[in-house]
Amino acid sequence: MLANYSIPPKTYFEIASLGYLLVLCLISFRDKNRRGFRSYKIFRLLEINMILALAVSVLTYTFAYPELGTPLSVCTLLRTMDSVMCIMASRIFAVYVMEYVDSEGRQKSVQMVGKVILGIYLTLMILNIPFKFVLWYTPEGLYMHGPFFVPIVFAAPVYYLTSGILMLIFRLKKLGPREKVALTIASIVTLLGIIIQAATNGIVLLSLPFGSIGIFVLYFSIETSDYHQLLKNNERLKLAQQDAIKANRAKSDFLASMSHEIRTPLNAVLGMDELIILEAEKHKNSDPEFAGCIKEYADNIRDAGQVLLSVINDILDLTKIESGKMEIKPAPYSLQKLVNDVGVMVRVRAEQKGLSYIQKVDPAIPEYLVGDELRIRQIMINLLNNAVKYTDSGEVVMEVSMKDLTENRLTLCIRVSDTGIGIREENLPLIFGDFQRLDEDKNHRIEGTGLGLSIVKRMIGIMEGDISVTSEYGVGSAFTASIPQEISSKSPEKTADNGKAGSPAEMIIFQTPDCHYLLVDDNKMNLVVAKRFLDRLGGETDTARSGREALQKMRESKYDLIFMDHMMPELDGIQTYEMSLKDPDNINPETPVIMMTANALSGVREEYLAKGFADYISKPVEMKEFLRVIESHLPVEKIRHLAEC
């Protein structure tokens, strides 16, 4: 029998696998760059286990034969160790796969079941040595399988390999492209080995030679030090990006919050100033000298307040752009009317400084265009105000022309030039940066935050245009903005405009003596300002300093309009409104509720309207807008136009 004995071909295959796995292990152990990575630690454990399993398997299939004179107890021990090492390799392979596909540890139950199965398996295999109910050798030297061989020896590797591969399949999208390929190939090679092994000798266990090939694939694809360093760098970049996003969001939130907090008291300042102007105009006949003096003071307060408001609006625009909430709303508009309106505003300021303001418009430009008139107006005003601000003598010129004319589109070119102080050549690349105020020593007396040009550039970029600047220091500057616009075949819709009146008194063109209003605001001064405005219209006005008080008043009185602040303690404006709709004792469920708030972020109007509010007014409240909202939401029979009286 000994003469007919030969080493099985499988053993030669395993000896070869053991050889190249030892070489791989030597290479990987010498690499010090990956010792801090958890996946590599598991991979190294898998390497060691596979080497030991291969060594035991070679010994088993070479010497575990009684006919060679090997004692039966040694044969049984080798067979048991071979099975145990194979099961251990299966488990570590599954743990390694799960380390990649379940790095968050969400599938802890799968791991826990695996540990329990391993514990039961090891206990039974130890008990098998004396009790021989799994595998053993008869006194005659025949190798035998007991009744528990299949459930004990096969259950564990089948569970480990199945759970690991199923987890890989279900969570494949979570992996990067390199991990997908490496883990998929390694798993397919391992499964192929099991299938071949089962087909040739009926044993459904991890095929150690094919498992070794899988380890080679894993090492040279996702366990090299260079790749781990790449992953580490990517993770650092990802964390840095997240930190930058958080910091930018925190900055935007802070600026938006500060804008809101400043707009609230500014509403009271500008509102009170409007009331002072109204009172001065009321007494201009009885005491013209005193009324004129008071009006001059009030006009100065209004001018300073408008400067502060423009700064706040610049900051708010910056936060809108950075948060991606800057909205462009194209609509038909008249270019000539827009240019004339902007010219009227800028000419006054230019003449106050003794400057000439010149305006040129190419007559060939179509009369009506489609674009965001508000943003284009803002761009023009920012460029012109900047030119006036930095020019002490000479002229400011705005030229409007076109290029790239087609049947339906053109590029609108807005060129603003001045004879001001100019920009140094080395400062030109910085001119459109945030909070940039160049040549500060010379310009420290000039008001502004340095945001205007940055906002203009970003706004033009959103509209798919561009802006450039040329300048000669001490001679002047020229900014040229190019903005694509569509050509409109119809004129824009005409809207009522009560804002052309020169004074607050002239804006009030109607009375509402039969109306009952409710003002809700936790700020006492804002209530005073709004109430005084409404008192000018006649009628009766109630006030509430909280949401709870407003709900009580809505149960007691019927109102024609309700003005609601948003940011209030305990119950905010939205919560108060929603509770009022659910209150069975509320006698104002159909009364229009107007949101009047310092929250002026882009998109909030639509959010408030979606909540059910009838309209939205931002603080500081402009009398023109206040009157528009009142006139829009009151029944016609309750409005008495002064022209009719």
Domain CATH for 411 = 3.30.565.10
Q: Please measure the distance between the N-terminal and C-terminal CA atoms of the chain and give it in whole angstroms.
A: 130
pLDDT value of residue 265 = 77
Residues 377 and 348 in one domain: yes
Residues 66 and 166 in one domain: yes
Task: Classify residue 241: in a domain, yes or no.
Answer: no
Name every residue whose Cβ is closer than 8 Å to that of residue 312 and which is 6 or more positions away in sequence: 259, 262, 263, 266
Residues 411 and 465 in one domain: yes
Locate 462 and state its tokens. Answer: 């959103």
250 burial (CB, 10 Å; 0-12 / 13-18 / 19+) is: exposed
Task: Classify residue 266: in a domain, yes or no.
Answer: yes
Residues 318 and 335 in one domain: no
Locate 163 and state its tokens. Answer: 């759970």
From residue 32, give the alpha-carbon distance in Å to each of 35, 51, 152.
6, 21, 39
Task: Classify residue 236: in a domain, yes or no.
Answer: no
Domain CATH for 58 = 1.20.1070
Locate 505 and state its tokens. Answer: 């008194």
Residues 54 and 90 in one domain: yes
pLDDT value of residue 439 = 52
* Host domain of residue 566: 504-644
pLDDT value of residue 223 = 79
SS3 readout for 389-424: HCCCCCEEEEEEEEECCCCCEEEEEEEEEECCCCCC
Hey, CA dihedral for 50, 55, 56, 62, is it positive or negative? positive
449/92 Cα distance (integer angstroms): 62
Of 264, 292, 322, the residue at which a domain comes to its end is: 322
Quick check: helix, strand or coil at residue 99?
helix
- How many domains in the chain? 4
From residue 281, give the alpha-carbon distance in Å to each of 298, 402, 492, 504, 534.
11, 46, 36, 9, 18
pLDDT value of residue 556 = 93
pLDDT value of residue 251 = 67
Residues 391 and 513 in one domain: no
Task: Classify residue 318: in a domain, yes or no.
Answer: yes
Of 487, 520, 548, the residue at which a domain comes to its end is: 487
Residues 78 and 187 in one domain: yes
Task: Classify residue 204: in a domain, yes or no.
Answer: yes
142/136 Cα distance (integer angstroms): 8
Task: Classify residue 1: in a domain, yes or no.
Answer: no
Residues 107 and 209 in one domain: yes
275/534 Cα distance (integer angstroms): 11
pLDDT value of residue 359 = 92
pLDDT value of residue 1 = 43
Number of H helices, E strands in the chain: 20, 16
The amino acid occupying position 644 is E
Residues 357 and 318 in one domain: no
Domain CATH for 612 = 3.40.50.2300
Region for residue 538 given its phi and psi (left: phi exceeds 0; alpha: psi -120 to 50; beta: otherwise): left
Task: Classify residue 553: in a domain, yes or no.
Answer: yes
Of 270, 297, 322, the residue at which a domain comes to its end is: 322
Residues 306 and 369 in one domain: no
Residue 208 · residue 86 · CB < 8 Å: yes
Average pLDDT per 10 consecutive residues for the chain, totaling 645 residues: 63 86 81 64 87 91 86 89 88 85 76 86 87 85 84 80 83 82 87 81 77 86 77 82 78 66 73 77 76 78 70 65 68 89 84 90 91 86 88 92 91 94 83 58 48 80 90 91 89 52 67 92 86 87 93 94 90 93 93 86 80 89 86 89 64
pLDDT value of residue 270 = 77
pLDDT value of residue 287 = 77
Residues 93 and 13 in one domain: yes
Residues 556 and 596 in one domain: yes
Task: Classify residue 228: in a domain, yes or no.
Answer: no
